[in-house]
Every structure is written in C-alpha cells, then in structure tokens.
Structure 1
Amino acid sequence: MLGLQHLPASVLQAGAIFLSIMIEALPFVLIGSLISGFIEVYITPDHVHKVLPKNRFFRILFGSFIGFLFPSCECGIVPIVNRLLEKKVPTYTAIPFLATAPVINPIVLFATFTAFGNSITFALYRALGSILVALVLGIFLGFIQTNSILKEGAAPLHTHDFSQVSAWKKVGQAFIQSIDEFFDTGRYLVFGCLFASLVQVYIPTSMLTHISHNPFTAILLMMLLAFLLSLCSEADAFIGASLLATFGFAPIMAFLVIGPMIDIKNLIMMKHSFKPAFILQFIGIISVVITLYCLLLGGF
C-alpha cells in the first residue's frame, strides 16, 4: 500500500475507474456465463428448429426475437448459428438470431438498464436498434440474397453432445461450460475496462469533445471502438456508460448496438463457415443501418 502512494495521481485515478467498472460488470458476466453453460448442455438447436413458423416473413421475425430466450453473450452465438444452419434452419432466420441474441436477452437488457442508472431508455433503444438491424438482414437474405452464404466443404465446428450424459454429469458439464465462458470473456472485459479508464484519464477532453461535436464522426468512432474492444455484451454497457458524458447519446447507442454484432472474435469464427463476400455484406448492412438509426436518434 505504501508503494501505491508514490504512484502518479493519474495512475491512481485510472486504477480507481478501472476497478469501479470491473466491479459493476463482473456479476452480469458471471450470471450470463452460468445461464449460457446450462443452455449449452440442456437446449439444442433441434428444439428451436421444431417450432419454426412456415411463413418466410414470420421466420425472419422468429429469428429476430427468439434471442430473448438465449441469455448468452455474443461469444457463443456463432457456433450456435452454425449448428442451426447445419440443421437446415434458413439463413434468414439464423442470421437475425445472430444479430439480436447477444442484445435483447434479459441479462444484457438488465445490465444495460443498470449501467445507465436504472434508465429504461438505453435498454429500449438498444433493443430496438438490434431488432431493426436483424429485420433488414433477414429481408436481405430472405428476398434479395438467394445464393448460399456458406463456404463449400467447410468443416463443422467442434460441438458437444450431452444427450447420452447422466443427469448429474449434465449439471457438472453445465458448470464446466460456464467456467470456460466466464474466463474466455473475462479477458476481453479486463482489456475493455482498462482501455475505458485510460481514455478517461489520459486522452485530453478537448480532443474528445471536438470529435463528439460532429455526430456522424462520433458515431463512426464509437462503432470502430466497439469493434476493436470486442467486449462481452453483458459488460459493454458499463464501458459505454463511462463514456456517455464525453460522446453523448447517439454515439454511445451505436457502440452498444454494433458491439455484439461485429467484433473481432465473431468475425474470426464466421470466417470459418461463411463466404467472405457475405461477411462483407454483413458488416456493410449492419454499419449503414446502425449509422442511420443513431443519426436519427441524435436528431441529425
């Protein structure tokens, strides 16, 4: 403790901000990891496939909203989507699910609600933005892009089959999956919290204020930041809340909506199964829709 007294005040301030964000975010990451682990063991894509509607547009809606029942962050969504596609779930259902599941599930919405001082506004507009993106993606894949978006001959991702496991072993496997996800996502959370704390302490406020004066530039900057940080969707709201005073409502909303959809982890996993052309279309559609959505929110 005596050694800390000799550190510069800015380092101590950054450390305090880092710890405050971490303490707020960790419980939500833990809860999300636990629920995700049990979903991995007890719920299979077959269960979802059995309840798919027959109508194409209703399938798009189904894919856009079913994520509410999957309290998992984006880290585990791509393997689930690949499994759904292997089970012949249409792309215009699976891809909207990929876009909304990490955002509209109860854990993430409650984390967003809490991070912004128990404000329903941010949680509501975040959910609406993700649903809008999902609908556009679904319509694009269902009515415009009719070619296959999957790579030919792509090897299936490693998946787990717990159907033959005893009841007690299933519980144990659920906790094992939860622990793996917690530590896997926790490292990204640590980096994000550290980055946010350093931004608040060391980047001149005048520079950020100058950027935030232009809504379009600020939105693009926060979208890029969300991609670079690749935060867990159960914790990114706390990072966004810490930057709200600097950037304002619309750029932070762009950060919250695009982060779970386009991040480094997901793109690497998507590259395994999806054609590069579709990945570029995926990034382009999401970026354009979110930019327009947030510009409208900002009163541009």
Structure 2
Amino acid sequence: MLKFLLRFGTPLLGLGCLIMLVLIATNRELPVYLFNAANMQSFKILFISIILEAFPFILLGVLFSALLQVFVTDDMIRKFTPKNPIAGVLFGALLGLLFPLCECGMIPVVRRLIRKGMPAYIGIVYLLAGPIVNPIVYASTFTAFRTTPAMAYSRMGLAFAVSVVVGFLLYKFMHSSPLKATAVVNHAHHGHTHSHEHDLNGKGFRGRVASILSHASDEFFEMGKYLIFGALLTAVIQTVIDRSTLAAFADQPLFSYVFMMGFAFILSICSTSDAFIASSFSGIFDFGPLLAFLVFGPMIDLKNTLMLLSTFRVKFVLILIALTAVLTLIGAWLTEVLL
C-alpha cells in the first residue's frame, strides 16, 4: 500500500494541484457538495498563503545547497565537522545560529552536507534543531509571547534537548546512510547523454554561476513539488476543521499535547510565523501543549514529511518521526510541570 502511494501519489496530487490552480485562476468554485463558497474562499487563501510563505525559504535552501556543491569540497566538510560524537551533536544542534534556515529549505541543504561527507547523525540534528534554534525564530517567538517570555526560552531549550537526544540515539544505533540510493539519471540531447551527478563546476566565474543555477533549479523543482502537495493537503484539512472544536480537546490533560502536536503537523506553518498562531490559542490551551506545538511542528510537519520521504529511506523517516514525537511530548510535559 505504501509503495502504491509513493508511486502514484505524486501524479494524483499533482493533478489535484493543477485543478485547484485552474479554479483559483478562473475564480470558479468546486461543486457545493465538496466545498461551499465560504470554505472555498478560505481554501484559496490558505493554499496560496502557504505557498507564498514557504517558497522563499525553499529557494534560499536550494541556493545555499548549490553554493555548497560548487564552492565547498568534500574535504572541507570533513575537516570542519567534529570527529567526536558529543562535539558533533552539539555542533549540529547549534549550527542554526550561523545558518538560520526555515524547515522548508533545510532538507536540500542537509542532503547535500551528508553527501559531501558530514556524518548523517549530525546532519539530522541540524535538520531538527536548525528551524528553531536560531535568532530569527527566537525573536518571533519572544514577540508573539510578550506576556510569557518563558515560552521563547523553553522553546529553544526543548528543541535543543530533543535534537541532541535524537542525535546520540542515531549515532549509537544508525549504521548506514539514511539517504535513498540515488541512481545516475541520463538524458539524451541530440545524440549524446549527460548525467545530473557529474561535476558541473566549470572554470571561471561564468562556469561557476552556471553550475549554481543548474544545481539550484534541479533541487528547487524536486523539493518544490512536495511543498505544493503538502500545501494542498494542509489547506484542505484547515478548511474542514472548525476552530471551535479545538476547545473540546483542551480539557484532556494528555490528549491536549497529542492533539496540538498533530495540529502542528497538519498546519505545516513556517517556524518563523507559527508562534503567532500558537499565541492565538493561549486562552484555550495551557503552556505545555502550546510548547509541544511550537517544537514538534517545525521539526516534523506534513509538507516536510513529504520532502523527507523523497530524500531519506521510509523506515528511517518513520523512526525519526516517532522519536521526535515521544521526546517532544515528554519534554513539553516536564517543562510545564517544572515551571
């Protein structure tokens, strides 16, 4: 079943996206039994806003990835990456302070770093911690929770702790690369072939610019389609769920944590703006569930899960999601108890 979804899900979702874009462009509505006029308008706004919010970060990520490919050699990555596992995990958890990328642009960068020789466990730590442990997200969280500044500190601390624990577990138990095997893809052009995996680094400034644009465009279209699919599903789910129903879950001690983590997964909001969404629920949910929302969402959400599945092995992605969810749940609960 999973293989079927991975094989046919992309073209089916692509067809759905095309239909939605045509409807939006022509300002037409879906049949009333699927969406009423108000829901359709909400769907349009959500779908377009998610795309517009995330695409700049995807573009930043693939450009940074292309710069790594052209200007940073494998030997340089190996030289600057700590060999000691403790130092390596801490290095990965704090790398977002230097390279504050949103989760939308993290995956192509991490994939490139791992392929260039960075140990996979360090790359995954950066993938988890980078979208949260950075100055931009700290500032947005502090601004959104002006009356509760502890939320900003707690978010940074819990994200750091979860990513570090996941990093040590991966170092201990992961014995092979989690990346999918990449076949060399050839394309025929006027009787000759070339490979996407060959070295495109030409000599001189023009050659390097051409190489950067080539790598960036390939990864942009590869990652962008999964972002669009995730945005489509996210917008549909947000349109269906009524906000008033959320209050029914807030009174359930444990389930409120699980619900807010699942809600963050579904919403797939960028880490630079999700704090403002969370603060709007501060009168409904307690500190702990809101913290779980702010930590789990940027690490694992719907759109980035689709991109993870395009880059890493399915079994690894499922284990990573489970580990992150359990550690976030425990950490958020302990933080609320201790504060």
Shared fold (TM-score greater than 0.5)?
yes
Give the Cα–Cα distance (whole angstroms) in 1 for the partners of residues 311 and 184 of structure 2. Answer: 8
Alignment match, 2:84:
55
Give the Cα–Cα distance (whole angstroms) in 1 for the partners of residues 138 and 77 of structure 2. Answer: 22
Give the Cα–Cα distance (whole angstroms) in 1 for the partners of residues 184 and 306 of structure 2. Answer: 15
Amino acid at match of 2:176: S
- Alpha-carbon displacement from aligned partner over 1:177-229 (angstroms, at most 9, x marks no partner): 9x9999x9899899989988997xx543xx54442122311110010011111
Is the 2:61–2:104 contact (alpha carbons within 8 Å) kept by the matching residues of 1? no
Q: Tell me the secondary structure at the aligned position of residue 54 of structure 1.
A: coil
Alignment match, 2:279:
241
Question: Using a 3 Å threshold, how does the CA distance of structure 1 residues 64 and 203 change in structure 2: closer, same or farther?
Answer: closer
Q: Tell me the secondary structure at the aligned position of residue 114 of structure 1.
A: helix
Unaligned runs of at least 5 residues, structure 2 = 1-37, 186-195
What is the CA-CA distance between 1:150 and the residue it aligns to?
Answer: 2.5
Give the Cα–Cα distance (whole angstroms) in 1 for the partners of residues 311 and 58 of structure 2. Answer: 25
What is the CA-CA distance between 1:274 and the residue it aligns to?
Answer: 2.0
**Aligned positions of 1:46-195 closer than 5 A:** 46=73, 48-117=77-146, 120-142=149-171, 144-150=172-178, 153-155=181-183, 165=205
What is the CA-CA distance between 1:254 and the residue it aligns to?
Answer: 0.6
Give the Cα–Cα distance (whole angstroms) in 1 for the partners of residues 263 and 304 of structure 2. Answer: 15
Question: Using a 3 Å threshold, how does the CA distance of structure 1 residues 284 and 296 change in structure 2: closer, same or farther?
Answer: same
Alignment match, 1:292:
330
- Alpha-carbon displacement from aligned partner over 1:55-105 (angstroms, at most 9, x marks no partner): 122111111111221121111111111111111211221110110011112
Unaligned runs of at least 5 residues, structure 1 = 1-10
What is the CA-CA distance between 1:284 and the residue it aligns to?
Answer: 0.9
Q: Which of 80-89 and 283-292 deviates more?
A: 80-89
Is the 1:191–1:229 contact (alpha carbons within 8 Å) kept by the matching residues of 2? no
Give the Cα–Cα distance (whole angstroms) in 2 for the partners of residues 85 and 185 of structure 1. Answer: 22
Question: Using a 3 Å threshold, how does the CA distance of structure 1 residues 75 and 275 change in structure 2: closer, same or farther?
Answer: same
Give the Cα–Cα distance (whole angstroms) in 1 for the partners of residues 167 and 181 of structure 2. Answer: 24
* Higher Cα radius of gyration: 2
Question: Using a 3 Å threshold, how does the CA distance of structure 1 residues 276 and 37 change in structure 2: closer, same or farther?
Answer: closer
Number of residue pairs the alignment of both structures matches = 275
Is the 1:189–1:235 contact (alpha carbons within 8 Å) kept by the matching residues of 2? no
Q: Which of 144-153 and 284-293 deviates more?
A: 144-153
Alignment match, 1:261:
299
Amino acid at match of 1:128: G
Is the 2:201–2:207 contact (alpha carbons within 8 Å) kept by the matching residues of 1? no
Alignment match, 1:6:
none
- Overall identity of the aligned pairs, in %: 30
Question: Using a 3 Å threshold, how does the CA distance of structure 1 residues 267 and 188 change in structure 2: closer, same or farther?
Answer: closer
Is the 1:32–1:72 contact (alpha carbons within 8 Å) kept by the matching residues of 2? yes
Is the 2:77–2:116 contact (alpha carbons within 8 Å) kept by the matching residues of 1? no
**Aligned positions of 1:268-279 closer than 5 A:** 268-279=306-317
Amino acid at match of 1:148: S
Give the Cα–Cα distance (whole angstroms) in 2 for the partners of residues 43 and 37 of structure 1. Answer: 10
Give the Cα–Cα distance (whole angstroms) in 2 for the partners of residues 299 and 197 of structure 1. Answer: 34
Alignment match, 2:318:
280
Is the 1:215–1:295 contact (alpha carbons within 8 Å) kept by the matching residues of 2? no
What is the CA-CA distance between 1:155 and the residue it aligns to?
Answer: 4.0
Is the 1:32–1:71 contact (alpha carbons within 8 Å) kept by the matching residues of 2? no
Superposition CA RMSD, Å = 4.1
Is the 2:104–2:304 contact (alpha carbons within 8 Å) kept by the matching residues of 1? yes
TM-score (norm 1): 0.72
Is the 2:61–2:101 contact (alpha carbons within 8 Å) kept by the matching residues of 1? yes
Amino acid at match of 2:299: M
Give the Cα–Cα distance (whole angstroms) in 1 for the partners of residues 281 and 232 of structure 2. Answer: 16
More relative contact order in 1 or in 2 (CA 8 Å, sep 6+)?
1
Is the 1:249–1:298 contact (alpha carbons within 8 Å) kept by the matching residues of 2? yes
Question: Using a 3 Å threshold, how does the CA distance of structure 1 residues 104 and 151 change in structure 2: closer, same or farther?
Answer: closer
